[in-house]
Structure 1
Amino acid sequence: MYTIDHIIQLLQAYLKGEILPNEHAELSMLFEKYPELQDLAKKLEDPANLREELQAYEEFSTSDPAQEQRILSNIMDKIEAQVDQQPKRRWMQYGWYAAAACFIAVVGLGIWQINKRDGIDTSDPATPVDAVKLAENLLPGGNRATLQLADGASIGLDQQQVGIVMGDEITYTDGSVALATAKDEKRMMILSTPRGGQYQIALADGTKVWLNADTRLRYPNKFTDKQRVVELDGEAYFEVAKVAGKPFIVVTAKEKVEVLGTHFNVYSFPKEKESKVSLLEGKVKVSVPAGKTRLLQPGEQASVQGEELSVQQVPVDESIAWKNDEFMFNNEPLGTALAQVARWYDIDIEIDPSVAKMKLWGSVSRLDNFDKVLKIIKMTDDKIKVQIEGRRVRLMK
């Protein structure tokens, strides 16, 4: 595969008319492999055609160089895989704009300099400026959670802390005391995050759990039975501590996940049709009420829809991107992708039928305001229009 740095240098030289004789053959090979890039390169030589594409790169660019490098690499990997498999038919699934986005991304610095030199207007009529400004005011979520005790009492947990640790006392991760508990009784508790919230917990057996937004974890303050059972509604990442003879079981409304010691992610919201279990390390057994059971290996994901249980290979880093403060979308249906976004920003997103079939791809930090997510959406389809009223967002064409 071509390296990002080398592609940048080669195509920048082409745009500026400074390509060396010994680079012509290599450039020809690149254009032969990606003919859409050659067509776009010719278009961009005309300043009149540059205006529209320039805005795409400006929106794509990020202040985090490491994140931008990951995004560029993901884009080139995706395009190379699609072209290798079925060059013409599969490419059209991403459309001309995907080629434009890729090209603008890899030659962005050179184009940016042209923009600065010539004073090109980068305004975009598709999304009104006031909508972009309003999106800047939609802030990301943070460390917010509530702990419900066995007697029904609830306490709001410190938002300056990232999580709690179960023991004789419930402490925050920095060691400060959150709540004194009874040492000799098993008590069921519920740790819940709101929309726009996330939190961590270290259970009594040493298992670590990361809760995503709008998620509930029901668990005992100590594990005294032969099985360690917790109940989950929402999304959580588990790093299960190994305890000989005591399997760890996660029960959701749609499936049951049994493990001895492993790392995995569970995405199971009661109101969504599909539930997913993604395995990073170890082995897990996934079963559904209808009786179907599958054993997962690392790199596999179980998908549950109704009574159907299927397993496929997936890039598991995408499944846990949220835990690492990122959104990663890999040709993901717009509705599914924006359900995650809506929970994190605590907003309501309405998707017009005209864009409902759109697939989203790209990566953006969950620490950024909503306008950065909006730019990723625009990168996928620049004709999408956005209306924002309070915390309600509508996407349409």
Structure 2
Amino acid sequence: MQPSYAYYKELLSGFIRNTLTEAEGRELYAFIAAQPSVYEQLMEDPDIIALIALGAESSDAVLVPAADHRVRTQVLAHANGEGVQTVTPPVVAMKGRKTLLRWSVAAAVLVLLGFTTWFLLLQPRQHQLAQGTTAAKPVADKAAPVRNRATITLANGTVVAVDSLRQGLATGQFTRVVTRQDGQVAYEQTNGGAGQELVYNTLSNPRGSKVVDITLSDGSRVWLNAGSSLTYPVAFTGNERRVRISGEGYFEIAPDAHKPFFVTRNEMEVQVLGTHFNINAYDNAAGETRTTLLEGAVRVKEGGQQVTLQPGQQARAGATMNVISNVNVNQVVAWKNGYFNFENMRLPDVMQQLEMWYDISVVYEGAVPDIRFYGELRRDTNLSGVISALEDSGVHFKVEGNKLIVLP
């Protein structure tokens, strides 16, 4: 009789906990190879997702994904009876996402060769682990944000916490702001019509705060990352809609042919034509603002320069205006979807994300290590978990109070 869904769920749970026997491990891999659709269902099971999120410890042995050509070559060679050479690829373990265990049939072959395995999401292809590297010492921990600490500054200067707006608050211009059951901030029309005067509010989402999203009075929706703010009219009057951003935001703009939508940051202006896009306007060493288009069209202007973006393009506006095509949009909006995506990312860019999310300061004791990272990690991971994964690449840290120090 064919084993049940519950049976394979128990095998998969045992693998995550590292309690399977060798025979059970072989059985699990045979199941994955033979019934990939059922395996995909298992990976969506809430119990499995929760178990992965616990960061259960795996064996000390490692498996680089079969997508790595060096390992794939060795597997195929063995399958063809050509023998297997010793491969010691660079590896950085990063656990947490539900796709953690999604390997190919080729990876299953490695288990049949006698490996106890764990799929590792993060792999710095440009940095080799030193032989005999010892485990890094644990660092002081800091939990990921569990709620947003956003505030709204009203036109009269009063600052109110978003969490206090469950019953709604009048904001003028016949609108009120309310925090809905799901935590979304929304501006709603009340009786009467809006006047001609623009009345501005500012939504501020501090460092160390969960993402907050807001529906503006025209129906446009904006998500704000930690360390970001948005200034906007409580009601859009006149013949245009204009808001200001600092930090990072993801926008889904309600179309209105008679009222174009503009987003500004210092001298940069993005004109929106009904679209979905992301703006990263954090202060950075490059001194540039990055606008990435997912859907529709936008026109980016700064310093007399102007470009119109197509979906999948990114404009980098600073001293010059550059357009990057075929951008990894999943990486750009990973923050909105609850993930860090470090694919091909340099250390300073990784550190900036940690600064904003965990509300810490990063200091380099020596030269900035020239290294790139690859992979994803859930943003509800504690700081110590992220640091532990990064340290496997050979970069080391120490924590002093609220300061994360990158060691030489």
Q: Which category describes the TM-score, using the shorter chain as reference length?
A: 0.5 to 0.7
Contact in 1 for aligned 2:143/2:381 (Cα 8 Å): no
Residue of structure 1 in register with 2:242 after alignment: 229
Residue from 374, 398, 401 that aligns with 1:390: 401
Q: Structure 2-normalised TM-score?
A: 0.66
Shift of 1:331: 1.2
Q: Which runs of 5+ in 1 are unaligned?
A: 1-11, 20-29, 77-90, 101-122
Cα separation, partners in 2 of 1:92 and 1:269, compared to 1, 3 Å:
closer
- Aligned match for 2:372, one of 350, 359, 378: 359
What residue in structure 2 maps to residue 280 of structure 1?
294
Contact 1:285 1:296 in 2 (8 A): yes
Change (3 A) 1:224 1:312: same
Q: Match of 1:357, SS?
A: coil
Query: Which residue of structure 2 aligns with residue 111 of structure 1?
Result: none
Q: Is the 1:279–1:299 Cα contact (8 Å) retained in structure 2? A: yes
Match of residue 173, structure 1, among 177, 180, 198: 180
Question: 62, 86, 95: which one pairs with 1:61?
Answer: 95
Answer yes or no: is the 8 Å Cα contact 1:211–1:237 preserved in 2. Answer: yes
Contact 1:347 1:392 in 2 (8 A): yes
CA–CA distance in structure 2, aligned partners of residues 343 and 67 of structure 1 = 25
Spell out, residue by residue over 1:3-40, the C-alpha distance to the aligned partner (whole angstroms, 9 max, x if none). Answer: xxxxxxxxx99x99xx9xxxxxxxxxx8994269749x
- Aligned pair in 2 of structure 1 residues 187, 345: CA closer, same or farther (>3 Å)? same
Change (3 A) 1:61 1:138: closer
Asked if structure 2 preserves the Cα contact closer than 8 Å seen for 1:254 and 1:304, the reply is no
Structure with the higher helix share, 1 or 2: 1
The normalised TM-score by structure 1 is 0.68
* CA-atom RMSD in angstroms: 4.2
Q: Distance in 1 between matches of 2:126 and 2:349?
A: 18
8 Å Cα contact 2:213/2:224 also seen in 1: yes
Unaligned runs of 5+ in 2: 1-21, 30-65, 76-83, 108-122
Q: Matched residues in 1 for 2:400 and 2:351: separation?
A: 17
Deviation at 1:171, TM superposition (A): 1.1
CA distance in 2 between partners of 1:254 and 1:325 (Å): 30
In structure 2, relative to structure 1, the CA distance for the partners of 1:393 and 1:150 (3 Å cut) is same
Distance 1:164 1:303, change over 3 A: farther
Tell me the equivalent position of 1:347. 360
1:34 has 2:70 as partner:
yes
Q: Percent identity?
A: 31
Cα separation, 2, equivalents of 1:145 and 1:212 = 10
2:134 counterpart of 1:125: yes
Structure 1: how far apart are the matches of 2:69 and 2:385? 31
Q: 1:178 & 1:255 partners in 2: Cα distance?
A: 26
Partner of 1:210: 223
Instruction: State yes or no: 1:306 paired with 2:311.
Output: no
Deviation of 1:267 (Å): 0.2
Aligned-pair CA distance for 1:178: 9.2
Q: Name the aligned partner's letter for residue 290 of structure 2.
A: K
- The 1-side partners of 2:234 and 2:404 are apart by 40
Answer with 270-279 or 141-150: which moved more. 270-279
- Residue 158 of structure 1 aligns to a residue in which SS? helix
Q: CA deviation at 1:143?
A: 1.3
Aligned with 1:142 (options 137, 141, 147): 147
Q: CA deviation at 1:159?
A: 7.9
1:194 matched to 2:206? The reply is yes
CA shift in 2, pair 1:278/1:178, >3 Å: closer
Aligned counterpart in structure 1 of residue 269 of structure 2, from 248, 256, 264:
256
Aligned residues: 317
Say if 1:283 and 1:396 are closer, same or farther in 2 by CA, change over 3 A.
Answer: same
Q: Does 1:156 align with 2:165?
A: no
Determine the C-alpha separation between the residues in 2 that align with 1:203 and 1:261: 14
Aligned residue in 1 for 2:49? none
In structure 2, how many angstroms separate the alpha carbons of the residues matched to 1:175 and 1:35? 45
Q: Once the 2 structures are TM-superposed, how far is the Cα of residue 362 of structure 1 from its aligned partner?
A: 1.6
CA contact (8 A) 1:164 1:202 kept: no
Contact 2:144 2:379 in 1 (8 A): no
**1:146 Cα offset (Å):** 1.1
Show the counterpart of 2:51.
Answer: none
